[in-house]
A and B are shown apart, each in its own frame.
Chain A
C-alpha cells in the first residue's frame, strides 16, 4: 500500500501538483486519470522519487520515502517495477538481456538461474521466440510485454505503469491492460497506472483518482465513475461518441 499525504510540486512557481492525498491499495489496479497536463506524470514521478516534493510525504507500507536515506531508497527501489510509456527498453541489449538486467544488478543468482527466471516471466507475459531479438526488431505490443516482464522479474511489491497502452491498437491495449491486472492479483502487488484512456478505466479501474489542474477532485471505482453527477468528470468520461452512446442506451433502457 502507498499512502500520499498532502503532496505538492511546483515548477518555476507554477503548482503542478497541489495538496494531493490518496491511498493506493495493495492487490488492486489504482488508476490516476485526467486530461493531458493535469499532473498525472508529475504525480507518478513524485511517487517514484524522480522528483523532489515541495510539501507532504509519501509512505510505502507505512514507511516514509526519503530520498536522502540512500540505503532505504535503494532497498525500496528494488521492490519497484516500472513500465514506461515508451517501454524504455535498453536498445543495446536483446530482449532476454533486458529482462535479465534487474537480476544481474540486484541478485546473486547464477547465469542459468537468471535465464531460467527470465524465461519464466517471458512465458507469463505470453512472449514467444523473441529472446535474441533487439527492441528495434519487435512490435509496440511486444515491447510493452517485455517491459512488463522486466518490471516483474524481481517479484516487486509495487508496479507503476505510465500510459501502458499508448500507441497500441484497441485490441492489444485491452490485452496489455488485462495482463497488468492479472499480474497485480497474482503477485498481490500495489499497481499504480497513469492513463487518460477510458477503455482502460472501464477494463481495470479497481480504484480511480481523477486529477484536474494538479488537484485531486474525485476518487472512486469504475462503476462509480459512470454514475457520478460531477460535471467535470462527466465531460471527461463522456468525451468520446462511443461512451455518449453507451450512456444514452443505459438511460433509455
Chain B
C-alpha cells in the first residue's frame, strides 16, 4: 500500500486541493478537541502533583517541573495521539471504507486513477502538520497546569514558572517531535489500510473503524515504548 501511495501521482492541481481539504478535516478540525483535552489534562496533572507533595520541605517549583515533564514527554504526544486515533483514525477508516462499499474506489480505478495516491497521499502530507497540534497541546497543557496551580492556591505564579524552566533539556523536545512524526505516519496509514481493504457493507465499516482504532492506538503505544527505550533509557 505504501509503495503504491508514492507512485503514479495524481495531477498536482487536483492533489493540491485534496491536501488543503485534508488539512482542514484532519488538522484544523482537531484543534478544538486537542485544546480542550490538553488544557484540562495539564490542570489535572498539576493538581495531582500538588496533592501528592504535601511535604513542606519539597520546593514549590516542583509542581511546574512535574507538569512540564509529564505534558511535554508523555501527555501531549502520546495521549493526544491516542485521542486522535479515535477522532482522525475513525474518520479516515470510515470515509475510505464507505468509498469502498459504495464502489467509489472502483470508480477511481476504472478511470485509471491510482486510488492509493489519490486517497492516502494527501492524508500523509496533511499530517506532516501534526507536530503543530502537539505543540499547541504542550503549550495549553502547561497553561492548564499554571491556571490550576495558581488559581487553585497550590503554589505561586513565580514558583510554577521557575519550575517549568528548571533543568530544561532541548533533547526532550526533539524526542517528543520524533515521536510525533512517527505517530502522524501511523495515524495516516493504519486507518487508511483498514478502510481501503475492508469488505462488506455499512456494518463492516463500523467494525473496520473499531479495529482501526485498536490497531492504531496499540501501534502508537508500542512505538512510544521503543522510541523511549532507544532515546531516553
How many residue pairs link A and B with beta carbons under 8 A? The number is 50
Known: A80-B110, A88-B107. Contact between A105 and B11, CB under 8 A? Answer: yes
Q: Scan residues 102-150 of chain A and give those whose CB is less than 8 A from a CB of chain B.
A: 102, 104-106
A contact residues, range: 20 to 34
Within 8 Å of chain B (Cβ to Cβ): is A73?
A: yes
Asked if A104 contacts B110 (CB within 8 A), the reply is no
**Docked CA distance A85–B106 (Å):** 11
Asked if A50 contacts B106 (CB within 8 A), the reply is yes
**Which of B97-105, B149-157, B171-179 contacts its partner?**
B97-105
Known: A70-B8, A91-B98, A104-B11. Contact between A77 and B112, CB under 8 A? Answer: yes
CB distance from B23 to the nearest CB of A (A): 15
Contacts of A89 on B, CB cut-off 8 Å?
Answer: 104
Give the residue of A86, A104, A160 whose beta carbon is less than 8 angstroms from that of B102. A86
Contacts of B162 on A, CB cut-off 8 Å?
Answer: none
Asked if A105 contacts B106 (CB within 8 A), the reply is no
Asked if B110 contacts A82 (CB within 8 A), the reply is yes
Contacts of B14 on A, CB cut-off 8 Å?
Answer: 104-105
**Docked CA distance A200–B10 (Å):** 37
Q: Scan residues 84-107 of chain B and give those whose CB is less than 8 A from a CB of chain A.
A: 98-99, 102-104, 106-107
Q: Scan residues 81-98 of chain A and give those whose CB is less than 8 A from a CB of chain B.
A: 82, 84-86, 88-91
Interface centre among B98, B103, B104, B110 (most CB of A within 10 A): B110
Within 8 Å of chain B (Cβ to Cβ): is A240?
A: no
Give the residue of A70, A85, A86, A102 whose beta carbon is less than 8 angstroms from that of B111. A102
Within 8 Å of chain B (Cβ to Cβ): is A227?
A: no
Contacts of A76 on B, CB cut-off 8 Å?
Answer: 112
Within 8 Å of chain B (Cβ to Cβ): is A198?
A: no
Within 8 Å of chain B (Cβ to Cβ): is A215?
A: no
Q: Looking across the interface, which residue of chain A has its beta carbon closest to that of B8?
A: A70
Within 8 Å of chain A (Cβ to Cβ): is B143?
A: no
CB distance from B174 to the nearest CB of A (A): 38
Within 8 Å of chain B (Cβ to Cβ): is A69?
A: no
Within 8 Å of chain A (Cβ to Cβ): is B109?
A: yes
Q: Mark A173-212, 1 if CB is under 8 A from B, else 0.
A: 0000000000000000000000000000000000000000
Contacts of A15 on B, CB cut-off 8 Å?
Answer: none
Contacts of A74 on B, CB cut-off 8 Å?
Answer: 8, 112
**Docked CA distance A88–B112 (Å):** 15
**Docked CA distance A85–B111 (Å):** 16
Asked if B112 contacts A73 (CB within 8 A), the reply is yes
Within 8 Å of chain A (Cβ to Cβ): is B136?
A: no
CB distance from A173 to the nearest CB of B (A): 19
Contacts of A160 on B, CB cut-off 8 Å?
Answer: 110
**Docked CA distance A58–B110 (Å):** 16
Within 8 Å of chain A (Cβ to Cβ): is B161?
A: no
Contacts of B112 on A, CB cut-off 8 Å?
Answer: 73-74, 76-78, 80, 106
**Docked CA distance A78–B11 (Å):** 14
Contacts of B107 on A, CB cut-off 8 Å?
Answer: 82, 84, 88, 90
Contacts of B10 on A, CB cut-off 8 Å?
Answer: 105
Contacts of A90 on B, CB cut-off 8 Å?
Answer: 104, 107
Asked if B11 contacts A84 (CB within 8 A), the reply is no
Q: Looking across the interface, which residue of chain A has its beta carbon closest to that of B104?
A: A88
Contacts of B44 on A, CB cut-off 8 Å?
Answer: none
**Docked CA distance A50–B112 (Å):** 11
**Docked CA distance A160–B109 (Å):** 14
Within 8 Å of chain A (Cβ to Cβ): is B113?
A: yes
**Docked CA distance A85–B110 (Å):** 14
Within 8 Å of chain B (Cβ to Cβ): is A48?
A: yes
**Docked CA distance A29–B111 (Å):** 21
Contacts of B99 on A, CB cut-off 8 Å?
Answer: 91
**Docked CA distance A249–B112 (Å):** 49
Asked if B113 contacts A105 (CB within 8 A), the reply is yes
Contacts of A106 on B, CB cut-off 8 Å?
Answer: 111-112
Chain B residues close to A by CB (< 8 Å): 8, 10-11, 13-14, 98-99, 102-104, 106-107, 109-113
> Which 6 A-B pairs have CB atoms at the shortest separation, nearest pair first?
A77-B112, A88-B103, A88-B107, A82-B110, A84-B103, A74-B112
- Beyond known contacts A80-B110, A84-B106, A90-B104: 7 more, CB 8 A cutoff: A82-B107, A86-B103, A91-B99, A102-B111, A104-B13, A105-B113, A106-B112
19 A–B contacts from the bound complex (CB under 8 Å): A50-B106, A50-B109, A74-B8, A74-B112, A77-B112, A78-B111, A80-B110, A82-B107, A84-B106, A88-B102, A88-B104, A88-B106, A89-B104, A90-B104, A91-B98, A105-B111, A106-B111, A106-B112, A160-B110
